[in-house]
Amino acid sequence: MGETIRRLASLVCAVSCAAAFLSCSGLPAGVKPERKASQRVFVIGFDGMDPTLAQKWMDEGRLPNFKKLAEEGTFVPLGSTQPSESPTAWSSFATGANPGKHDIFDFLRRDPKTYTPDFNMVKKIPPEFLWGFIPIKAPKVVSTRGGTSFWVYAGRDGIRTRVLTVPVTFPPETIAHGVMLAGLPTPDVRGTLGTYYYWATDLSRYEEGNSEFGGILKRLVLDGDTAKTELVGPPNPIVRQELREARAKVPQTDADKTRIAELEAREDLRLPVVIHWDRANRAATIDIAGNSIHLREGDWSPWVSLEFDVNVLVRIHGITQFYLVRAGDELQVYASPVGMDPRNPPVPISKPDDFSAHLAQQIGLYRTLGWAEAADKPLNDGRLEEQAFLDDSNRAMDDRERIIFKELEDPNWDLFVCAIETTDRISHMMWRLMDTKHPMYDPVLAAKYGDSIERIYRRADDLIGRLRAKVPKDVVFMVMSDHGFHSFRRGVNLNTWLVQNGYMTLKGQEGGQKTLEDLFGHGQFFEDVDWSRTKAYAVGLGQIYFNLRGREGQGIVSPGAEYSALQDEIRSKLLTLTDPENGARVFGDIYKRDDIYWGEYLPNAPDLEVGFNDGYRVGWQDTLGGIAKAVIQDNDRKWSGDHCATATDISAGVLFVNRKIDTMTPSIMDLSPTILKLLGVPMPAGLDGKPIM
Ligand SMILES: [Zn+2]
């Protein structure tokens, strides 16, 4: 009987598996054999390339290759998404659909039940260990993006495809007849977008610990010329599993609490680091994990491989680079975020899984971190200077270029899509030095670095020249960007505005015991909010959500008439908001949910989306639900240019094509259907964009 059932089960499985995964050709179901495209297509994206700057520098003769491309074919602004941020816009590029159909409305999403913001784009499923030792389930990362990418459709239709470091392609997608190397948000080994390390003799105890922008700072204490310290690596997945189990126990005894504290203390895997300071020669030697790295002041090390032992069965492989910031009067050492080693990443960063290793065999180690220009964070924290940031960012672009040219050596592709984000990062960090009205404008630094953005555009131009020499002339050659760029002079705190206008109530706000001054300035994740008297709250880079009954954990706004009236009321009030410093209007428009979004994920969309005028962005604290004192404040950070949630009529990116197109007002959603049409792939249903060629 048992045997019969077993055989029956295996037969059922064999039949259903074959039906599900294999067609008669031996290919997975729905996948056609490899074929030639009716038209080959090459696309390169430069994140954040702005049409006004591109036009200006083309007119001045500084971007000859872009100019040639524009004269041969097309140069037009490319309409972005609302909001005009990378996660949202690149998702619409891939899927040809509005955010209501791919569910990426911002960098952050919030849990409506608890109001807690969380990182968008991926969900992590931790690994599992049997008896706290033997790995039985590998860690998994799942994309939260909906919709289907055009390269997936193309692959299924038989098109040979390459997709390299395009944002919102982590975890990597399987492409039939194709390869993919993941881009943003591929994390470092700690699972973050880039935790950097900084050790220094001149750090005070007060400065030690985690920096505002995600660094781990440690004070170096010298014994003679030697300092012993450590590098904090990935969390130990076994300890994490034990912690989850311990925390889930209710009620908790004192012994349980002691155990949790003990587990938390050893949650992260750490590597000992010994630094020998050669003060006389302004140099240092860094000993870590069997490597001895000798650097002079201003030197960057080559890639250093690091191994973190979870136990004898499990080891996490990472790569980093050290930079000796100072070694004269003080000793300051920087290490870049520990990226996943492409030869052996803890979770796949490519499809096929071994493509990342194969690439490393051919070109050597390369940056795997999605946010490749990782020195923006230490620059913003004041730990690295402009030159170090620019050098590191240019090396990030070197790596991306090496990968693109390596993959172009093999001509067997019909669709090639790649992206570089260095344009975006340099624009974010260096805008202040070409905007004399920016609060962080500095004439001394401007004399030295005021042309940094122009330089990265010129580098992009040079790359276009070299790519066009390599890509055959009969290929449709497109250059696009996901959005443009603006100055970010003033931060606008939407939650503070909501409090001041009576849409959000803080605990203790009434009764005169506390002034607003007392209430503002503290409280992350809305810990001071009285939800029973709050109608709206802001999370992320320009999203306002209503405290909706039936959706939010403690909702008070009724769907229907009350909801619509609240949309109209807040919208019209925000539109009149002016900057007390100069009288300028803050918003170009405020968008109501159903006017700009449609599709299956509409219930997750913000109820209002703000559209800033040039010069404004959401304030730093406000993005995470922190409540600042003033509605509008100067942006006092080096992160000084931005594009998040700018009004639609000023948010466009660029589109260059070596052919004429049918419209002067294309949208980023049009590229997916346009490319599918060129390739001769049947048009899927449900796209919002239209072919423009
Ligand atoms: Zn950006």
Q: How far is the CA of 90 from the centre of ligand 1 (A)?
A: 11
Distance CA 677, CA 691 (A): 7
**Spatial CA neighbour of 419 closest among 234, 604, 599, 169:** 169
Query: Percentages helix, strand, coil for the chain, rounded to the nearest 5?
Result: 30, 25, 45
Q: How far is the CA of 426 from the centre of ligand 1 (A)?
A: 9
How many C-beta atoms lie closer than 10 Å to residue 26's C-beta? 8
Distance CA 664, CA 46 (A): 20
pLDDT of amino acid 177: 96
Exposure on the CB side of residue 569, measured as CA atoms within 13 A: 13
Cα-trace Rg, the chain:
26
Look at the block and give the residue holding tokens 């990782």. 374
pLDDT of amino acid 610: 97
Phi, psi of 102 (to 5 degrees): -120, -10
132 dihedral zone (left: phi>0; alpha: psi -120 to 50; beta): left
Q: How far is the CA of 258 from the centre of ligand 1 (A)?
A: 43
pLDDT of amino acid 525: 65
If you ran DSSP here, which 8-state letter would residue 650 be given?
G
Distance CA 691, CA 341 (A): 39
**Spatial CA neighbour of 407 closest among 173, 94, 657, 178:** 178
Query: Tokens representing 102?
Result: 């791919």
What is the distance of C-alpha 680 from the center of its chain?
Answer: 32
* Domains located in the chain, CATH noted: 40-104+145-186+370-484+651-693 (3.40.720.10), 187-342 (no CATH), 489-645 (no CATH)
Q: How far is the CA of 629 from the centre of ligand 1 (A)?
A: 26
Q: How far is the CA of 644 from the centre of ligand 1 (A)?
A: 7
pLDDT of amino acid 474: 97
Q: How far is the CA of 301 from the centre of ligand 1 (A)?
A: 28
pLDDT of amino acid 7: 41
pLDDT of amino acid 141: 85
In 103-149, which ranges are continuous DSSP H helix?
Answer: none
pLDDT of amino acid 591: 98
pLDDT of amino acid 25: 60
Asked whether the beta carbons of 82 and 611 are under 8 A apart, the reply is yes
Q: How far is the CA of 425 from the centre of ligand 1 (A)?
A: 6
Distance CA 344, CA 361 (A): 12
Q: How far is the CA of 455 from the centre of ligand 1 (A)?
A: 17
pLDDT of amino acid 522: 40
Tell me which residues of the chain have a pLDDT lower than 50.
1-24, 510-523
pLDDT of amino acid 142: 86
